[in-house]
Amino acid sequence: MQLDPVPAGVVPDLTDATARYLGDTPPKAELREDIQALGKRMDELQTALFAESKHALLVVLQARDGGGKDSTIRRVFGALNPQGCVISGFKAPTPLELRHDYLWRIHHAVPPKGLVGVFNRSQYEDVLVVRVHSLVPEEVWRARYEQINSFERHLIENGVTIRKFFLHISRDEQRDRLRDRLDDPAKYWKFNPGDLGERDRWDDYTRAYQEMMARTSRPEAPWYVVPADKKLPRDVLISQVVVEALEGMKPAFPGPPPGLEDFRTQLA
Ligand code: AMP
Ligand code: MG
């Protein structure tokens, strides 16, 4: 199993069929072992990233309601040392946030060197919900693709590696997950009647996600469409990309402190 990034300029297929991994999927037991191994590797690499403290990894998660962002954070990033990871969620902007440019709150949440940052929603809401609900005129949200690309370029040039995931679920799977929130008392709190209105705009969102990825997936800050109807393959696919990204950053533990032998003697 393996995910390929969305090539720059290419509109990804977001039909229901691609909400499941189309290649061969190993048996569940094997997927669980893979997740364990990948989680362990992710944690080791993050420790080195912290020791070195020269670079940060930013992971962006976007999805429709019920798309699995929260469970991905728990199941994939739960493998990291909690001190090594910073999760930032972005809700509808507050009055203060609205008085600033839309990237103000985002920049503030970018992980510092040494950490893995996960965005639960992101700057991309400003070309998604904002577009679908016409919260600003088209020329305003349209200009944001290039603004976001420049912003990300700036981050990359300043030591931040970026990977972006769209957790892609089918219409049926979303219905089941939203229904679940009405059937399980422990999940009532997750139900938001507003999600039904968003579901009615399914095709508008599809177009918004497609154009977003076509315009902002680049080799240095790629988008991945993650088949997310099934959680285990989803977790493995995301973990693989994250581990590969961390490996590419080549985090190295710093060398010995000057005077190592002296210190050793003092502690003999
Ligand atoms: P949730 O992630 O389910 O807690 O919901 C957060 C809500 O905030 C979603 O409905 C998002 O679409 C909304 N949201 C996030 N960012 C923005 C934004 N920039 N403008 C408007 N709504 C937003
Ligand atoms: Mg919600």
User: What are the DSSP calls for the chain, one per residue?
Assistant: ----PPPTT-----SGGGGS--S----HHHHHHHHHHHHHHHHHHHHHHHHH-S-EEEEEEEESTTSSHHHHHHHTGGGS-GGGEEEEE--SPPHHHHTS-TTHHHHHHSPPTT-EEEEES-GGGGGTHHHHTTSS-HHHHHHHHHHHHHHHHHHHHTTEEEEEEEEE--HHHHHHHHHHHHH-GGGGGG--THHHHHHHTHHHHHHHHHHHHHHH-BTTB-EEEEE-SSHHHHHHHHHHHHHHHHHHT------PPTTHHHHHHHT-
d(CA 128, CA 50): 33
- Residue 194 Cα: closest atom of ligand 1: 10
Residue 117: pLDDT band (50, 70, 90) is very high
Contact 155, 243 (CB under 8 A): no
Average pLDDT of span 152-161: 98
User: What's the confidence (pLDDT) of residue 42?
Assistant: 98
Ligand nearest to the CA of 91: 1
Tokens of 207: 């177009």
Q: What separation in Å is there between the alpha carbon of 122 and the centre of ligand 2?
A: 14
Percent of the chain with pLDDT over 90: 99
Q: What is the pTM of this model?
A: 0.97
Nearest CA to ligand 1 atom 7: 91
- Residue 129 Cα: closest atom of ligand 1: 12
- Residue 133 Cα: closest atom of ligand 1: 21
- Residue 198 Cα: closest atom of ligand 1: 10
User: What's the confidence (pLDDT) of residue 143?
Assistant: 98
Nearest CA to ligand 1 atom 5: 91
Mutate-to-test residue for ligand 1 from 70, 90, 107, 174, highest number of ligand atoms within 8 A of CB: 90
Nearest CA to ligand 1 atom 3: 65
Residue 211: pLDDT band (50, 70, 90) is very high
- Residue 102 Cα: closest atom of ligand 1: 19
Q: Name all residues whose Cβ lies below 6 A of ligand 1.
A: 90-93, 121, 125-126, 129-130
Nearest CA to ligand 1 atom 4: 91
Average pLDDT of span 79-98: 97
